Amino acid sequence: MTEETISRGLEDVNIKWTRLTTIDGEKGILMYAGYSIEDIINSNALAEEIQYLFLYGKLPNKKELEEYRMKVEEGYNVPDFILDLIMKLPPESDAVAMQMVAYAALAAKERNFKWDKSTNRDVAAKSIGMMSTITANVFRHIMGKGPKKVEKSESYAKSFLRAVFDKEPTKDEVDAMNAALILYTDHEVPASTTAGLVAVSTLSDIYSGVTAALAALKGPLHGGAAEAAIMQFEEIGDESKVNEWFDNLLKQNKRLMGFGHRVYKTYDPRAKIFKSYAEKLIKNNKEAEKMYKIATKLEELGIKQYGSKGIYPNTDYYSGIVYMSLGFPLRNNMYTGLFALSRITGWEAHFIEYVEEQHRLIRPRAVYKGPEKREFIPIDKR
């Protein structure tokens, strides 16, 4: 075998069939089960409608949506010991690591879990509800607040924001949170989804699959990209310094965070939508407004420099500004935790699709390049 036999990073290796998400990276098209992301957002769809679409393969009618919501709301009532675990962790802990602790604990609690077509989607719906309360309490703990369970309201997004901030969110805030939940729902099989699929291919439980996915998402080259993008805006500090900062970036041959994508060779369609919500929200947050002005000026320079190479803003370029505008400070990898709140739907839908329809233990091979056969010499003769 030669070096060409290896697909580094599993690039362009297809590991499953899916009816969930399709991406045309050349044209900048993203569709969920045949519905374009632009149509979904422009139609004012609720995040829970898209959650239903991913789990059941169709959009719900009013009765089906209400029944689904009841399953999610059941999950809001996370066992007290899970919240106790979160609150006992150091408040400076990584937000995604705290989510991992919670889901690992759920895996311990549900040790007799069995995959079953008749119950898989009910378990997933409840787990999506649990993730809302878990994520809300991770943030509350970081901010020095006590535990609080999410309560039902008109929408999943509104319930989450209420629990996080202890106040009634505005319509613009709910709309932006709802859009973020939808935009990050799924993206085929990136690193986190793949990690979770490897775990559940052993028929490990769904909570362990989520834990594995969270471990992969935690890295700065995946979920942490939104944090990295906004950190560079903070480093620049003012829009008047963008040109100088960008010139230095080029001289040092460093990467422009929030630009480029393994799949997209044009402007990420999610980035366009996040940018529109950022523009709406910044009027109420001076720090976010400053970040937005820096980002838009830097975007112009980045596209001029890299656009001809198929490198454009990705979804993480503006999402951090949206989160900041909503009231989430840049702390403890929290923006990646918010990513996980959205992506759990895609993870679990892929797990169910794989286990129910295509199950096979994922067991790749490696090409050995070490020494030929050698004689082993006992330690007293070496």
How many Å apart are CA 350 and CA 33, to the nearest integer?
12
Give, in degrees to the nearest 5, the angle at Cα 140 between 138 and 141: 65
Best CA proximity match to 189, nearest among 262, 96, 116: 262
Find the mean pLDDT for residues 130-148: 98
CATH number of 225-326: 1.10.230.10
What homologous superfamily does CATH list for 19-219+333-357?
A: Citrate Synthase, domain 1 (1.10.580.10)
Residues with catalytic function: 222, 261, 316
What is the model's pLDDT at position 4?
63
Contacts within 8 Å (CB) and 24+ apart, 282-285: 282/321, 282/325, 284/325, 285/324, 285/325, 285/327
pLDDT tier for residue 17 given thresholds of 50, 70 and 90: very high
Find the mean pLDDT for residues 260-267: 82
Q: Which two tokens stand for residue 188?
A: 């085929």
pLDDT tier for residue 219 given thresholds of 50, 70 and 90: confident
Q: Which residues of 284-293 are buried (b: 16+ CB within 10 A; e: fewer)?
A: ebeebbbbbb
pTM exceeding the 0.85 threshold for the entire prediction:
yes
What is the model's pLDDT at position 88?
97
How many Å apart are CA 281 and CA 258, to the nearest integer?
20
H or E segment at 103? helix 95-109
| Start-end of CATH 1.10.580.10 domains in the chain | 19-219+333-357
Mean pLDDT of the chain: 93
| Start-end of CATH 1.10.230.10 domains in the chain | 225-326
pLDDT tier for residue 316 given thresholds of 50, 70 and 90: confident
Best CA proximity match to 184, nearest among 121, 277, 92: 277
H or E segment at 300? helix 286-306
pLDDT reading at 147 higher than 90: yes
pLDDT digits 0-9 by tens, 346-379: 999 999 999 999 999 999 888 888 999 999 999 9
Q: Note the helical H segments in 110-187.
A: 120-142, 156-165, 171-183
